[in-house]
Each structure stands twice: as structure tokens, then as C-alpha cells.
Structure 1
Amino acid sequence: MSVTPRASGAAGERTGLHVAYGGAVYPAEEIARGAAYELFSADEVAGFEWAPRPGSVLPWRTFVHVTEVTAVHGAPEPVEEPEAPLLVPLHREHGWAYLHRLSQQPLAADDALLTKVRRSAVIRPGTRMVKVLSPRQLAGYVRGWLPHGFCYREYDVAHLRTPAATAVLRGDGAGARDGTEVTYALRWRAADPADYDVPVGPGHHGLTMLTPRDRLGAAVLGTGFVPSSSQLVPEFVTRDFADLPMPANAALLAYPADGTEVVLYTYQAEQRGWLRMVGPQWRHLLAAVPGLSPDQEYVPTGDAPRSTQLVGGYAGGEYEAVADMPGGFRVLAMTRAARYPVDSAARRVRFARWRRVPCLVLREEAGWLRLRLCQPGPEAVATTGAQCHERGIYEAWAPGTEVTDDQVVDHPYVL
């Protein structure tokens, strides 16, 4: 089929990039290293939104995933290996619509086709992960929270850029109903695939049985995909719902209504804090974040209690380490000369049981332990009285004298 550009103008001239989509070719801008594209048009097109930018002659825009386009013209050479897309076996009857219907049916969790497609979404060392946040959660991460719970590969959600589009990924139960005009997100690079799990199978069966009264956010279907009427997004959880050590150069992001990505802060591992990156024109995006001054240049997190630690071996000694992907693991040190690559690395976590329920120990205060359920479900929640703080995250306080099997476990990484 022959296609021609619908329009030319600022976007196409600036990037030299054009994308074939829906039977036409549009000027475009690359998103997330080619995982998605922002398309522009001078004329109204079905699915495009009116969102003019100053000086632009292309006021109609939309965001599309790379798998939705048929050709890309003028794309730059990739600087790193792209992530693996979802792969669907070719079949004349079982197309995308059929697969999407399966992904939304809990009884189809064991379907062979769905399982095969879900396994094609893989995490590798250095994969960029994303967790969509509420304003309250953003404040928590700035003050020292660590990555945990439900998350997604950036590759799979790069086309979801506006508050309305990202509502399906929020785990606080509010979604788009709270009227928030900006979406916040945490982005980091995975240190190791073993840090993540797919919420499918017996270990996560309890999540699928929780009633709306006992949960926040969307139901967990048990298929490994996000509940959505239009999106096919594979979801992940951190292993045991544990916190992960914050990698170097993680970023806190904001997406206002027009879908622009704004980097608010980047994580400085050696300084244990967040360095503000946003300029004055974007600081209004922080107005909804409780307890955070938009003018604060640097926010330290060194005093925040940490439930997990990355340790590394070097020259026979053990040191606190940091994941600095894609470069690997190194000793956490203030001076560049002391940032040695480690000989071994492991994520250190504390586990325990309370009332025979397996838990993570987050912190200890005055003889009480703050616990997070490793395998939340109706019985575990009822037994412990744990409260849901976000989708899949259930925590409770327990007297230290009642806790058993208290132990520290190292999850080693393969270097």
C-alpha cells in the first residue's frame, strides 16, 4: 500500500523522523529509544488529540507503541540493545484481540498460548523498569522509599504518557478519579532478573482472591497482564514484594497532560540523596507533592531506614555496593578512585514468620517489627490484620516476641 506524509512541519524538520501508522505517514518523535513514538498531524485524525504547541503547525498528536507502527523512516542507530517485545505465535484465528480477551480472564491463566506470550516479556540486567506513583508516593520515594511491588518494563508502557493513559498502571486505588493533572513515576535499571517475579501461579494465587474491600488498585488477574479494556501490558512484582536497593541514576519523573517527560530528580548513590534536575518552568509540577519544597536542590535520604542492602565482595572484604547498570556492581564510595568493581554481589533481606505467615522485616522499633506479607491473600491478611498500602503491598506491626524464623538471607547475583 502506498502512503504519503499527512503533513510536514516543526516535528518532522527537527527530527527527520517519519512513522507509518494507520495507512499514512506522520512526522514523529522517538520515545524511550524507539519503544514508542509521538505522532503529529496538521489535520484532525481519528485517535489524535488537539494539543498544539507554541510555534507548531501540527496541532494534532497521539502516542503509539512501536508494535503499532508499520514502518519507521529516518530513525537513528540504536545505542543499546532493544528490549524483547511480546511475541505472539502466528495464527489465522488467534490474533491480538483474542489474546487480549484471554489476558483479562483469570480462568485463562494456565492457557498455553497466553503463557507462551507472557514468557516472551523478559527482564535482563539493565532493563529500564517503571513504577507509576501518586503524589504521596512520590514524596515517599524522595524521602527514602525503595523500589517495591508492582512495576513494568518501560518498553511496554512507553506509549502511556498522560494522566488518563497511565491510570491503568497506578496501584493506589485512585487512578484518574483524583483529578490529578500530572503523572509521576520512578524509573530505574534492573540489576538482575532474579529480583522480579510474574504474578502468576500458586505463589500469587492469594492475590487474585482478595476482595475490593481488602485491596487498593485494580484486581490481580493472575494472568500476568494488567487489567485493561484496551492495553496488553505485562506486569511484574519485586521478588517476595521486597524492597530493592536503589540503583545509581534512578530518576523520578513527571508527565503533565501533554505527555512531556520531565525529569524531576536523579538518584545520587554516593550522596544517598536525590538531586533536583527540573528547571523553574516545571517546578509547578511538584505543587501537589506533600511536604516537598519545589526549590529544594538536594534531598538526602541517608537517615531513612533501609529494609534491604546491596553488599559486594572486594579483595577479601565485604562492602556496601551499588548497582550502576549497564556497567555492573561496584563498591559504594564517595571518591571515584575507590569505586572498585566488586568480585561478588548479593541483595540482603531479612525474613521472619508471624502467626505462621511468611513476611519481610522492614524495620524494628522498640521491640516491634514492621512486617510486609510475602504472599498476600485473604487468609494471610485476616491472620495478621495487615493493611493494604498499595496494590499488592500489605503491612502490619508485630511484637518482636511473637515473631519466629527471624533470619537474614543473601540473594546472590551472577556477575
Structure 2
Amino acid sequence: MSVPTQLGDAAPPRVGPRVTYRGTAYPAEVVARGAAYEIFSGVELPGFEWAPRPGAPLPWRRFVHATEVTAVHDGPGPADEEPDAPLLVPLHRDRTWSQVQELTQQPSAAGDPVLATLRTSAVVRRGTRMVKVLSARQLAGHVRGLLPHGFCHREHDVAHLRTPSALAVLGTDGGSAQDVVYALRWRAVDPTDYDMPTGEGHRGLVELAAGDRIGAAVLGTGFAPSSTQVVPEFVTRDFADLPMPANATLVAYPAEGVEVVLYAYQAEQRGWLRMVGPRWRHLLATVPGISSEQEYVPIGEPAASTRLVGGYAGSEYEAVADLPGGFRVQALTRTGRYPVESVARRLRYARWRDVDCVVLREETGWLRLRLCRPGPEAVAATGAQCHERGVYETWAPAADVTDDRIVDLPYPL
């Protein structure tokens, strides 16, 4: 006679690999190509959430970063690309991970050598997947043509943050928690496009008063404010826009803990192709001005704020970053998409009231400017308004600006 077993005693169904976390093996699913895992349990355990969903082997689950996993059994084969480098810091009995996490939250520790070691281990290389968490309003802006800019993170460092509540720590618009969080994901074209928000160059961000900013304070340590996480932050160089690479995606993270791809960027048409099916189209219901039934949302001509230019056979062409493959000429036909021989990011700088700015666009004698190094003095001098965390913009008469110039920032090939 067989005796029924409790759910926690039953052998759980296999799904993907089994991973060892804190000495116990769990069935798991791979997240972000192995940067994190979703582990499952048949009984309630500390840190696990009740979240049954179709396809899940067991009803209790938890997301853990790959660095928290000590063993992977029957995992996937070798990755088809080089993984990003994990965070590294020397630990010992007098310096635990919890103590390091607390150190990342102390602005007075910005120059600490331990933090410097940890921060420099977060390396951006060509092809690194970058992520910027978005609100519904910001998502609508990107569909209509906004480009990557401001605060962002390596996907590798945030892969275990998969629910709206967990991702709220990375929001940049200062809004309240939502039932669904959105994100823009793209591949980094070059590490020189990104800065760490640390040091003298970004001291002004740390000094901005609460009434002059949107979103969480900038700590100056290079890490996102959080009571539990260690997430290195990046900002786009001079807070400038970056050209949108081919195959960038706009994704949604509902409470179910799944990732839903909403749109994929089609470089040839300079627009977003809808990818989401009927099951998840309700995730777009709160996005202002966006219809969930639109198959394709064009964004018009390339933004004047920045673009890639490539050289081929002695002529200059608009170029596209199609990573990890490389750079090619912007063309609608396959025969015209040949690789370029040189490539650079072109953008416009200006100086107004002794403040360095990037020029976003020009309208009837006025320039839309974004501050390169926001701080209390620069904000007061220009009257710039904060539009999201770290991003300050203003209008200036074109006749009043100085040092107005076009700059090409070359990328090595």
C-alpha cells in the first residue's frame, strides 16, 4: 500500500537545470542566458513567493543571481557569446557581503578602495546588454522616438530583478509603484559611451537638493540606492542620447515575473515592430497614446541629437550598429547593408551661461539643451528642469550660446 506524500516531499518535476542555492538543490529556469535563475519549491521557504503560473513546476518561486548559485546540474550548454564579467570584491571574516552592501549606500564611502575594486569590476564592453527601467510614460516616449540616455544598468547585474516591486529600485521617473514595469534593452556600442556617476565630474548630482531632482538620490558611490541590492549604475556620456542599435527591445515585467517583449527596433525602417501577442496586449493599456493593436509604430527621421556616421569607399553614410556583428550602412535593401570601414557617433555640443550642454534639437532660433554635468549651480544658472533622474533640460536662444559645435566621437573597428 502506497502512502501519499506531502507536496514538499514529492520529487518535483524537472524544468531546465537544477541549481544549488544555500546548500539545497532546486528545479530552476534560466534567466537572461544564465545571469540569474528562477528557482522553485513545493513548500513555502524564506524569500520565496507564492506565484503559480502556467508552465511552472511548483507554486513557490524565487529569483536568484547566478553569483548566489554554487552549482548547476544538467544546465544548458556553452553560451553562444561571451558572458559579462560578474562583480568581484575580496571578502573575509572582517568584511562580509552585507557590510559591503551597506558601504555602497554611504556617500561618505565614495572613495573607499573596496568600493573602487567592486565598481571597476562592472565592465561594459562592445555588445554588453544594457537596461533602462521605464514608466509607461517613458515607454511611450521611446516608441515615439526617444533614444537611450541617462541612467542605465548592465542586464547582467539586474537579471534577478524580475517583478515590478523588485525593479522599482531602478526607476528614474520618480513615479509610484505600478502593476507592470517596462524596460528598454539594447547592446552597448562602445564602453566610451558610458560613465560611472562617481568622482568630481559627477559631484553636482550628489549635491542636488531633493526639491531639484526626480527619483532617488545619487549616492556618488556608483551604486543604486537600495537596502538589499548591490547594483552598479552607469550614465550615458555627458547624459547625451545614444543612437538606437538594431534589434533593441522594449519589454514588460508584470507581477507574474515573466519577461514580455513588446516591441523590437527595426533599424531599416527606423521604427518599432510589435512583438507582443493577444495574451499580453493588456500590458499596454496604461501606456499613454499607444494602441495595443498597432502592428508597427514609425518614429520618422533619425533624431537630430545624435547619429552614427560611417565611411565606405571614401564616402560618408548613415550607419547602424548591428551587434554583435558590427556596423553597416543604413539601407532598406539587403544588398546595400555592407559593412563600413570607419564609424563615429556624431552629436552637437554648446555652452550657455558657462554651462556645458548637448544640443537635442533646434526650433525657430531656440535650442533644446541637456546639461552635461548637472549640479546646483548649473541648474540655477540655466533654469533647467529635471525630466527624469539626472536628466536636466532647458531652452536657450540660439544667438546666446557659445562654442556651438558638431563633434564626431570615433569607434575603433
Q: TM-score range by the shorter chain?
A: over 0.9
Aligned with 1:364: secondary structure? strand
What corresponds to 2:243 in structure 1? 245
Q: Does 1:408 align with 2:406?
A: yes
Alignment of 1:53-202 (within 5 A): 53-54=53-54, 56=56, 58-77=58-77, 78-176=79-177, 180-202=178-200
Q: Deviations over 1:150-179 (max 9, x none)?
A: 000000000001110000000101142xxx
Q: Does 1:37 align with 2:37?
A: yes
What corresponds to 1:326 in structure 2? 324
Aligned with 1:200: secondary structure? coil
Aligned with 1:33: secondary structure? helix
Contact 1:363–1:369, Cα closer than 8 Å, also in 2: yes
Structure 1 stretches of 4+ moved >6 Å: none
Letter in 1 for 2:24: A
Alignment of 1:306-317 (within 5 A): 306-317=304-315
Unaligned runs of 5+ in 1: none
Alignment of 1:1-40 (within 5 A): 8-10=11-13, 12=14, 14-15=15-16, 17-40=17-40
How far apart are residue 92 of structure 1 and its match? 2.7
CA distance in 2, matches of 1:374, 1:57: 49
How far apart are residue 50 of structure 1 and its match? 0.5
How far apart are residue 305 of structure 1 and its match? 3.6
Match for residue 286 of structure 1 among 253, 259, 284: 284
What corresponds to 1:47 in structure 2? 47
CA distance in 1, matches of 2:373, 2:50: 45
CA distance in 1, matches of 2:274, 2:9: 40
How far apart are residue 22 of structure 1 and its match? 2.1
Contact 2:125–2:190, Cα closer than 8 Å, also in 1: yes
Query: Against the structure 1 CA distance between its residues 266 and 6, is the aligned structure 2 distance closer, same or farther, given a 3 Å change threshold?
Result: farther
Range that drifts further, 100-109 or 122-131: 100-109
How far apart are residue 304 of structure 1 and its match? 6.3
Contact 2:308–2:346, Cα closer than 8 Å, also in 1: yes
Aligned with 2:146: secondary structure? coil
How far apart are residue 8 of structure 1 and its match? 4.1
Q: Does 1:387 align with 2:388?
A: no
Alignment of 1:190-269 (within 5 A): 190-269=188-267
How far apart are residue 97 of structure 1 and its match? 1.3
Contact 1:387–1:395, Cα closer than 8 Å, also in 2: yes
How far apart are residue 306 of structure 1 and its match? 3.0
Query: Against the structure 1 CA distance between its residues 7 and 96, is the aligned structure 2 distance closer, same or farther, given a 3 Å change threshold?
Result: farther
Letter in 2 for 1:92: R
CA distance in 2, matches of 1:31, 1:305: 33
Task: With the length of structure 1 as denominator, give the TM-score of the two structures.
Answer: 0.96
Unaligned runs of 5+ in 2: 1-7
Contact 1:214–1:388, Cα closer than 8 Å, also in 2: yes
Contact 1:250–1:266, Cα closer than 8 Å, also in 2: yes
CA distance in 2, matches of 1:42, 1:356: 62
Q: Deviations over 1:93-112 (max 9, x none)?
A: 11211211111111111111
Aligned with 1:252: secondary structure? strand
Query: Against the structure 1 CA distance between its residues 8 and 270, is the aligned structure 2 distance closer, same or farther, given a 3 Å change threshold?
Result: farther
Aligned with 1:321: secondary structure? strand
Letter in 2 for 1:170: G
Q: Deviations over 1:266-293 (max 9, x none)?
A: 0000101000000001100000100000
Alignment of 1:366-381 (within 5 A): 366-381=364-379
Aligned with 1:171: secondary structure? coil
Aligned with 1:70: secondary structure? strand
What corresponds to 2:5 in structure 1? none
Taking only aligned residues, the RMSD between alpha carbons, in angstroms, comes to: 1.2
CA distance in 1, matches of 2:356, 2:130: 26
Letter in 2 for 1:363: R
How far apart are residue 91 of structure 1 and its match? 2.8
Letter in 1 for 2:249: A
CA distance in 1, matches of 2:321, 2:26: 39
CA distance in 2, matches of 1:340, 1:8: 54
How far apart are residue 56 of structure 1 and its match? 4.8
Q: Does 1:345 align with 2:343?
A: yes
Contact 2:270–2:302, Cα closer than 8 Å, also in 1: no
Alignment of 1:289-308 (within 5 A): 289-303=287-301, 305-308=303-306
Query: Against the structure 1 CA distance between its residues 225 and 55, is the aligned structure 2 distance closer, same or farther, given a 3 Å change threshold?
Result: closer
Task: With the length of structure 2 as denominator, give the TM-score of the two structures.
Answer: 0.96
Query: Against the structure 1 CA distance between its residues 303 and 80, is the aligned structure 2 distance closer, same or farther, given a 3 Å change threshold?
Result: closer
Aligned with 1:39: secondary structure? strand
CA distance in 2, matches of 1:169, 1:57: 29
Contact 1:361–1:372, Cα closer than 8 Å, also in 2: yes
CA distance in 2, matches of 1:182, 1:365: 36
How far apart are residue 9 of structure 1 and its match? 3.8
Contact 1:6–1:26, Cα closer than 8 Å, also in 2: no
Sequence identity (%): 70
Query: Against the structure 1 CA distance between its residues 253 and 7, is the aligned structure 2 distance closer, same or farther, given a 3 Å change threshold?
Result: farther
How far apart are residue 23 of structure 1 and its match? 2.2
